[in-house]
Amino acid sequence: MYRIPRIDCNVACPASLEEAFARTVRETVACNNWPADFPYAPQVGFRIFHTGADLLLRFDVAERCTAARTLDDNGPVWTDSCAEFFFRPEGSDSYYNFECNCIGTLLVGHRRDRTQAEHAPAEVLRTVRRRATYPHAPLPETEGDNRWTLTLAIPAAALFRDRIAGWDGVQGAMNLYKCGDDLSCPHYLSWRPVGTPAPDFHRPEFFEPVFFEPKKQ
């Protein structure tokens, strides 16, 4: 079971946030599950911790093709340069997908599978704080040595169909992804392997069990 550390910090203070992320272990989103059809693989890492109130997640990306055309939340961000966090609470037959493009446009869904989805209302979306390298404006595709970061602060209340007061002691399962369906170099990478014949991230049977460490007494 993967353990997510609890680190106290001032999420609103950039210096405090940087210090907290520096105490975490960098993981990679490096499983290219369909290399014959999608051989290109950008370099993607992430760091993750929680404060009890918020889950803090930072992606760092180095890729050849970068674009963002989706400006409205709950739009088709997966067609852009997009990083994703999927989470299923323990004992639930549903899961949440948090998908965010490189300019900070966010999609949040509660799902039983790919087709049965309820998108988060605007008041929930507003609670998820986002910080991206690129400004929130249309980004035409650029090719080169493109590097960007994306930081999300996800409150427990963003799990809007579950009654979770905070992240302390929460158990469940997760996977993380990087994609770009409509880029000139499309790709579909995952943190943990996905054993399907074609790209499909909406498969919780391939999520990794996870435990959010509680506050030390």
* Residue 108 placed within a domain: yes
pLDDT of residue 116: 87
Whether 18 maps to a domain, the answer reads: yes
At 83-120, the pLDDT tens digits run 999 999 999 999 999 999 999 999 999 999 888 899 99
Alpha-carbon span 135 to 117, nearest angstrom: 29
Q: What angle do CA 153, 45, 165 make, to 5 degrees?
A: 25
Measured at the CA of 27, the angle between CA 47 and CA 61, to 5 degrees, comes to 75
Radius of gyration of the chain (CA): 16
> Is residue 217 situated within a structural domain?
no
Tell me the pLDDT band of 203, cut-offs 50, 70 and 90: very high
In a domain, 88, yes or no: yes
pTM above 0.95, yes or no: yes
Domain holding 77, by residue range, is: 2-212
For the stretch 182-199, pLDDT in tens is: 999 999 999 999 999 999
- The per-residue pLDDT for 185 is 97
Instruction: Assess whether pLDDT exceeds 80 at residue 217.
Output: no
Tell whether the torsion through CA atoms of 154, 160, 4 and 46 is positive or negative.
negative
* Domain presence at residue 152: yes
Q: Is residue 101 part of a domain?
A: yes
Q: What mean pLDDT do residues 120-147 have?
A: 98
Predicted pLDDT of residue 216: 85
% residues pLDDT > 90 (the chain): 96
Task: Give the pLDDT score at 114.
Answer: 86
Overall domain count for the chain: 1
pLDDT digits (tens, 9 = 90+) for 21-38: 999 999 999 999 999 999
d(C-alpha 13, C-alpha 108), whole Å: 25
In one-letter notation, the amino acid at residue 114 is R
Q: Model confidence over 64-86: pLDDT tens digits?
A: 999 999 999 999 999 999 999 99
| Residues 40-65: tens digit of each pLDDT | 999 999 999 999 999 999 999 999 99
For residue 38, what pLDDT is reported? 98
3-state secondary structure the chain: CEEECECCCCCCCHHHHHHHHHCCCCEECCEECCCCCCCCCCEEEEEEEECCCEEEEEEEEEEEEEEECCCCCCCCHHHCCEEEEEEEECCCCCEEEEEEECCCCEEEEEECCCCCEEECCHHHHCCCEEEECCCCCCEEEEEEEEEEEEEEEEEHHHCCCCCCCCCCCCEEEEEEEEECCCCCCCCEEECCCCCCCCCCCCCHHHCEEEEECCCCC
| Closest alpha carbon to 83 in 48, 126, 36, 38 | 48
Q: Which CATH number belongs to the domain containing residue 18 in this structure?
A: 2.60.40.1190
Whether 81 is in a domain gets the answer yes
13 in a structural domain: yes
Q: What pLDDT score was predicted for residue 177? A: 99
- Dist. CA 100–CA 191, nearest whole Å: 16
Q: Give phi and psi for 158, each to the nearest 5.
A: -70, -15
pLDDT at residue 26, rounded to an integer: 98
